[in-house]
Amino acid sequence: MTTRIDGKAFAERVREQVAHDVAALQAQHQLTPGLAVVLVGEDPASEVYVRNKGKQTAAAGMHSVERKLPANTSQDELMTVVAALNDDPTVNGILVQLPLPEHIDADAVINAISQAKDVDGFHLTNIGMLWSGGESMVPCTPLGCLMMLRDQLGDLSGKRALILGRSNIVGKPMAALLLAQSCTVTIAHSRTLDLAERCREADILIAAVGRPEMVKGEWIKPGAVVIDVGINRIETADGKTRLVGDVDFESAQGVADAITPVPGGVGPMTIACLLDNTVTATCRQHQIARESLR
Ligand code: GUN
């Protein structure tokens, strides 16, 4: 039997913990964590995502700030908005929604965010801290994947982990996190030779390449835990569309010990981890031990 890891229920538990810690920060320290989201332009998928973030931030008892800017906003104007949020003491976390319009240098904007408020964990200092074992902000999607793996497997030490995909947002930070958990980590990508064989060696398989149902059941080591980060919209035979992951969910059944479904797996964890990171950032900015809130 393959366990279906319920990311929706897991995210709910993370959000409950966040709401508890927010209430404790207010009661014990008169602090309300604030999360600012900056959206440039009118990408419909980004708008939905930003709306959901706003709702969940408020539902957790946090202060939510939204800065919606037109698509023709200049680099300087965006930098001015980021600088103002850096200086705003009621804002503890800042997220600039990606992708940004082409005329904007996204790296320059991300690195202009105060490292302590970078709840995405995309700032170069946070990347360096993550790899060197320091106190960093951890990117939300890999953090959510790690939480689910720890919940499923407990100690990850000595496990063979294969990460399919080498993006800065998922693949690379995921590798750093699993290395810190003493896994033996392989990062595979489009040029990897004997990909199916490499996958079959893995106790933990993370698929984050954006290729619909690419990973087949016969690529999976019997008893492995599979985390599917892919969200791909495909057309079905009747002309409708549906969401699928990077793993062929059907053929993974009966092979994997556990797998995250798409939708309802990794997806809901990302915003929950963003809220969690905002509480972590608030605590660090005020030298409060998070455990003291429990
Ligand atoms: N666009 C899609 N996902 C993300 C994310 O996690 N952070 C940011 N900043 N932009 C995104």
Triad 284, 289, 293: Cα angle to 5°:
115
Domain limits, CATH 3.40.50.720, in the chain: 140-267
Q: How far apart are CA 181 and CA 258, in angstroms?
A: 19
Pairing, β 160-164 against β 184-188 = parallel
Distance 171 CA to ligand 1 centre (A): 14
Q: How far apart are CA 138 and CA 120, in angstroms?
A: 7
Query: What residues act catalytically?
Result: 53, 97, 120
* pLDDT tens figures, 132-182: 999 999 999 999 999 999 999 999 999 999 999 999 999 999 999 999 999
Burial of 30 (0-12, 13-18, 19+ CB in 10 A): exposed
29-115 maps to CATH 3.40.50.10860: yes
Token pair for 179:
């290395």
Pick the CATH number of 140-267 from 3.40.10.10, 1.10.3720.10, 3.30.70.60, 3.40.50.720: 3.40.50.720
Nearest ligand 1 atom, CA 95: 9
pLDDT class for 61, splitting at 50, 70, 90? Answer: very high
* pLDDT tens figures, 62-81: 999 999 999 999 999 999 99
User: Which residue's CA is the nearest one to ligand 1's atom 3?
Assistant: 98
DSSP 8-state symbol, 257: S
pLDDT for position 8:
98
97 lines ligand 1 (CB under 6 A): yes
pLDDT for position 174:
98
Domain limits, CATH 3.40.50.10860, in the chain: 29-115
Nearest partner of 165 among 47, 276, 266, 65, judged by Cα = 266
How far from chain centre, in Å, is Cα 76? 28
Say if residues 285 and 116 touch (Cβ distance below 8 Å).
yes
Work out the angle between the directed axes of helices 7-29 and 44-59 (0-180°, nearest 10). 50
Say if residues 202 and 224 touch (Cβ distance below 8 Å).
yes
H helix or E strand, kind and range, residue 58: helix 44-59
Average pLDDT for the chain: 98
Nearest ligand 1 atom, CA 139: 6
Pairing, β 34-40 against β 63-69 = parallel
Q: What type of residue is 57?
A: T
* pLDDT tens figures, 281-294: 999 999 999 999 99
How far from chain centre, in Å, is Cα 223? 25
